Chains A and B, each alone.
Chain A
Amino acid sequence: MNTTSLSALEIVLRVRAGELSAMQVLEEHLAQIAAVDGIPGQLDLPALPPREEQKVHAFIQVTTDLARQQAEQIEAKVARGEDPGPLAGVPVSIKDIFCVQGTTTTAGSRILYNFRPPYTATTVARLEQAGALILGKTNLDEFTYGSSSESSAFQPHPNNPWNTQHVTGGSSGGSAAAVAAYETPLSLGTDTGGSIRQPAAFCGVVGLKPTYGRTSRYGLIAFGSSLDCPGPLARNVSDAALMLQVLAGADPKDSTSSIQPVPDYLAALAEGVRGLRIGISPDYDHIAYPDTETGEMGIQAIQPEMNQAVREVAQVLASLGAEIIENVPMPNARHGIPTYFVISRVEAASNLHRFDGVKYGYRTQKPVQDLTELYRVTRAEGFGLQPKLRILMGMYVSAAAHAAHYYQKALRVRSLIRADFERAFDPTGPYRLDALLTPTTPTTAFRRKEVLRDTVLMQYSDQMTVGANHAGIPAISIPAGLDPQGLPIGVQFFGNDFREDIILRVAYAYEQATELAPWRQEIPQALRAAEVK
Chain B
Amino acid sequence: MMTRYEIVVGLETHIQLNTETKIFCSCKADSWGAEPNTNICPVCSGLPGVLPVLNAEAVQKAALLAAAMHAEINPVSYFDRKNYFYPDLPKGYQITQFDEPIGKGGYLDIHMPDGSTRRVHIHKLHLEEDAGKTKIEAGRRLVDFNRCGVPLVEMVTEPELHSGEEAAQYLTELRQLLRWIGVSEADMERGHLRCDANVSIREAGSTVLNTKTEIKNMNSIDSIRQAITLEAQRQIAAVEAGGRVESYTLDWDADTGTLRKMRSKETEADYRYFREPDLLPVKLSEEEINRIKSSLPELPYARKMRFIAEYQLSAYDADILTSERSLSDYFEETVGLSSTSPKTVSNWMMNDLLRLMNDLGKSASELHLRPAELAEIINLVESGKISPATGKALLKKVEESGRKPAEIVAAEGLGLIGDEDALRSQIAAVLSESPSEVANFKAGKESLLGWFVGQVMRRTGGKADPKRTRELLLEMLRK
Question: A and B: real partners?
Answer: yes
Q: Measuring CB to CB, which residues of chain A are less than 8 angstroms from any residue of chain B?
A: 98-99, 105, 107, 112, 115, 117-119, 121, 217-222, 224-226, 252-256, 346-347, 349-350, 352-356, 358-360, 371, 375, 395, 398-401, 403, 407
Chain B residues closer than 8 Å to A407, beta-carbon distance: 274
Give Cα distance in the complex from A64 to B81, angstroms: 40
Interface residue count for B (Cβ, 8 Å)?
28
**Which residue of the partner chain B has the closest CB to A372?**
B85
Give Cα distance in the complex from A347 to B278, angstroms: 11
- Verify A354–B46 contact, CB threshold 8 A: yes
SS of B interface (majority): loop
Chain B residues closer than 8 Å to A117, beta-carbon distance: 42, 47-49
Among the listed A218, A355, A403, which residue makes an inter-chain contact with B49, where contact means beta carbons less than 8 Å apart? A218
Q: How far is the CB of A66 from chain B (nearest CB, A)?
A: 18
Chain B residues closer than 8 Å to A399, beta-carbon distance: 270, 272
Q: For the complex, is B50 an interface residue (Cβ under 8 Å from A)? A: yes
Chain B residues closer than 8 Å to A218, beta-carbon distance: 49-51
- Verify B49–A112 contact, CB threshold 8 A: no
Give Cα distance in the complex from A62 to B77, angstroms: 45
Give Cα distance in the complex from A252 to B55, angstroms: 12
Which 5 pairs between the two chains have the least Cβ-Cβ distance?
A353-B92, A226-B277, A225-B277, A398-B272, A221-B48
- Verify B47–A118 contact, CB threshold 8 A: yes
SS of A interface (majority): loop
- Verify A255–B279 contact, CB threshold 8 A: yes
Q: For the complex, is B105 an interface residue (Cβ under 8 Å from A)? A: no
Q: How far is the CB of A526 from chain B (nearest CB, A)?
A: 31
Chain A residues closer than 8 Å to B50, beta-carbon distance: 119, 218-219, 253
Chain A residues closer than 8 Å to B466, beta-carbon distance: none
Known: A225-B277, A347-B277, A399-B270. A354 touches B49 (CB 8 A): no
Interface string of B90-102 (1 = CB under 8 A from A): 1111000000000
Chain B residues closer than 8 Å to A121, beta-carbon distance: 49
Chain B residues closer than 8 Å to A224, beta-carbon distance: 277
Known: A255-B280, A353-B93, A371-B141. A221 touches B49 (CB 8 A): yes
Q: Measuring CB to CB, which residues of chain B are less than 8 angstroms from any residue of chain A?
A: 42, 45-54, 81, 83, 85, 87, 90-93, 141, 143, 270, 272, 274, 277-280
Chain A residues closer than 8 Å to B87, beta-carbon distance: 356, 358, 371
Known: A350-B93, A395-B272. A220 touches B85 (CB 8 A): no
Among the listed A118, A253, A350, which residue makes an inter-chain contact with B274, where contact means beta carbons less than 8 Å apart? A350
Chain B residues closer than 8 Å to A217, beta-carbon distance: 51, 278
Give Cα distance in the complex from A253 to B51, angstroms: 7
- Verify B274–A98 contact, CB threshold 8 A: no
**Which residue of the partner chain B has the closest CB to A399?**
B270
- Verify B274–A255 contact, CB threshold 8 A: no
Give Cα distance in the complex from A220 to B42, angstroms: 13
> Tally of A-B residue pairs with Cβ under 8 A?
103
Known: A112-B48, A119-B50, A395-B272. A225 touches B278 (CB 8 A): yes
- Verify A350–B279 contact, CB threshold 8 A: no
**Which residue of the partner chain A has the closest CB to B86?**
A371
Q: How far is the CB of A282 from chain B (nearest CB, A)?
A: 33
**Which residue of the partner chain A has the closest CB to B280?**
A255
Known: A219-B49, A359-B46. 9 other contacts (CB 8 A): A99-B49, A121-B49, A256-B51, A256-B277, A256-B278, A350-B83, A354-B90, A356-B85, A371-B87
Chain B residues closer than 8 Å to A115, beta-carbon distance: 48
Chain B residues closer than 8 Å to A118, beta-carbon distance: 42, 47
Chain B residues closer than 8 Å to A254, beta-carbon distance: 51, 53
Q: How far is the CB of B145 from chain A (nearest CB, A)?
A: 9
Q: How far is the CB of A221 from chain B (nearest CB, A)?
A: 4
- Verify A353–B49 contact, CB threshold 8 A: no
Give Cα distance in the complex from A400 to B99, angstroms: 13
**Which residue of the partner chain B has the closest CB to A251?**
B51
- Verify B49–A398 contact, CB threshold 8 A: no
Can you list 30 residue pairs at the A/B interface with Cβ under 8 Å?
A: A98-B49, A112-B48, A115-B48, A117-B48, A217-B51, A218-B51, A220-B49, A221-B48, A222-B48, A225-B278, A253-B51, A253-B53, A255-B53, A255-B278, A255-B279, A256-B51, A256-B277, A346-B272, A346-B274, A347-B277, A353-B93, A354-B90, A354-B91, A359-B45, A360-B47, A375-B85, A395-B272, A398-B274, A400-B272, A407-B274
Give Cα distance in the complex from A399 to B271, angstroms: 8
- Verify B277–A255 contact, CB threshold 8 A: no
Chain A residues closer than 8 Å to B85, beta-carbon distance: 353, 356, 375
**Which residue of the partner chain A has the closest CB to B141?**
A371
Among the listed A107, A256, A347, A400, which residue makes an inter-chain contact with B48, where contact means beta carbons less than 8 Å apart? A107
Chain B residues closer than 8 Å to A354, beta-carbon distance: 46, 48, 90-92
Give Cα distance in the complex from A457 to B262, angstroms: 49
Known: A347-B277, A400-B270. A359 touches B90 (CB 8 A): yes
- Verify B274–A252 contact, CB threshold 8 A: no
Known: A350-B274, A353-B93. A252 touches B47 (CB 8 A): no
Give Cα distance in the complex from A191 to B8, angstroms: 54
Chain A residues closer than 8 Å to B274, beta-carbon distance: 346-347, 350, 398, 403, 407
Known: A255-B280, A400-B272. A358 touches B48 (CB 8 A): no
Chain B residues closer than 8 Å to A256, beta-carbon distance: 51, 277-280
Give Cα distance in the complex from A10 to B221, angstroms: 73
